[in-house]
Chains A and B, each alone.
Chain A
């Protein structure tokens, strides 16, 4: 059976194709706005669209992913950026008001990443993004 996702906007369950058909897509600019976030890197990429998200503070878990979703994490150190680099994740949202260091941002810039920070908790950030249509990986 096809996997169904609950679409809060339409108040119905939809399969992945229908979900995409409804064009429930979000730009990174919208992500930053919804999370009251600050864009630290990748201002030029904010019109790119994001459909899927994954949230974890455990980088080994992130390294198991086959897809390349937007990562929402409260872990804010060099390993966050390295993990994104290894896993080819280009969109990073750092929650819980953590601030990346200059060194982290330099490394992220080398990989041409988009880095957004938010003062919201992981739960709140994920709740907002999910309610607005960002899909889970599983």
Chain B
């Protein structure tokens, strides 16, 4: 099953719509609740990041019988130092993002804790792509 969503810059009201929709799809496929939670928490954090830091992007989701693959690709400023961005507590979020309950430097670490495979690639001035895989068993 292939799902696609568009992320709009600064559209905080709709942050999480892709994650909500994926949650419903996984539930219908009878994926265990623990796995569903790991998937949606990671995807939600990635969605919030794209909305908060980039100028918009896409969420591409592929659900197989044994795993889910999620790609969140944005057009934006990119991440100059990915290792630094992965550190818990490091954040470049604007006050507006913090007002939404995020921006404490926990997003990327939260993603890493919940997925089986995480790959972050970024080019400064172009954008960032986050690829995540969660195995169902």
Contact = CB atoms under 8 A, between A and B. Distances in A.
Contacts of B10: none
Contact of A64 (B19, B99, B113): B113
Interface residues of B, number: 23
B29 interface: no
Interface string A54-66: 0001111101100
Q: How large is the interface on A (under 10, 10 to 19, 20 to 34, 35 or more residues)?
A: 10 to 19
Interface in B93-111: 99-102, 104, 106-107, 110
Given A59-B101, A77-B100, A77-B101, A64 B15 contact: no
Contacts of B104: 58, 60-61
Contacts of B41: 63, 86-87
A82 B102 contact: no
Consensus secondary structure, chain B interface: helix
> Which are the 3 A-B pairs with shortest beta-carbon distances?
A59-B101, A82-B16, A60-B106
Interface of A: 57-61, 63-64, 75, 77-80, 82-83, 85-88, 103
Interface of B: 12-13, 15-16, 19-20, 23, 33, 37, 40-41, 44-45, 48, 99-102, 104, 106-107, 110, 113
